[in-house]
């Protein structure tokens, strides 16, 4: 299935075909894009020690990881832990590392030959990060997948 990002709302949704069915995502990297977005934005289970008081006690996690040790979880994105973190270089590096860990399985499983992640803070008044995932696929296809993860600052 192919996911589409709506920058106006900040949400992903399932893509539809012109006839109203679900878009399979086959062709033009749709399946890879969906794998990247799912990997980045499916909240991985946090270790209790990683929770700060402002995050509360909810360790989140994906329902299919229930009962699994953290190292065996299927959804590993820890991006959600940084939603209220201080906007500094240390946090930016931690966010980049969390994003890299979330998509590393694509290389490990041979889906892509190489993957690079970069993150940048969004410009004020928005609070959040811009994420760019660059995938290298055989034969010499390089694609950039970009999305802004906005935590606050949207007028509504």
pTM: 0.76
CA distance 84 to 88: 12
Dig out the tokens for 65 from the structure.
Answer: 């990881």
Domain harbouring 63, CATH code? 3.10.450
Distance CA 22, CA 45 (A): 29
User: Of 13-22, 37-46, 54-63, 101-110, which gets the smallest average pLDDT?
Assistant: 54-63
Q: Which domain holds residue 57?
A: 3-152
> How many domains, in total, are found in the chain?
1
**Quick one: DSSP state of residue 77?**
B
Structure confidence by residue, pLDDT tens digits, 135-144: 998 788 899 9
């Amino acid at each position: 299935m192919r996911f589409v990002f709506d920058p106006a709302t900040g949400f992903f949704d399932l893509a539809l075909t012109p006839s109203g069915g679900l878009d399979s995502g086959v062709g033009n990297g749709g399946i890879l894009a969906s794998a990247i977005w799912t990997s980045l934005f499916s909240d991985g289970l946090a270790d209790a020690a990683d929770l700060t008081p402002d995050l509360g006690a909810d360790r989140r996690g994906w329902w299919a990881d229930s009962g699994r040790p953290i190292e065996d979880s299927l959804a590993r994105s820890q991006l959600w832990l940084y939603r209220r973190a201080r906007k500094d270089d240390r946090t930016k590096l931690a966010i980049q590392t969390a994003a890299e860990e979330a998509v590393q399985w694509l290389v490990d499983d041979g889906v892509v030959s190489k993957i690079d992640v970069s993150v940048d803070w969004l410009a004020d008044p928005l609070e959040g990060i811009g994420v760019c995932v660059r995938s290298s696929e055989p034969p010499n296809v390089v694609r950039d997948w970009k999305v802004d993860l906005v935590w606050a600052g949207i007028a509504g």
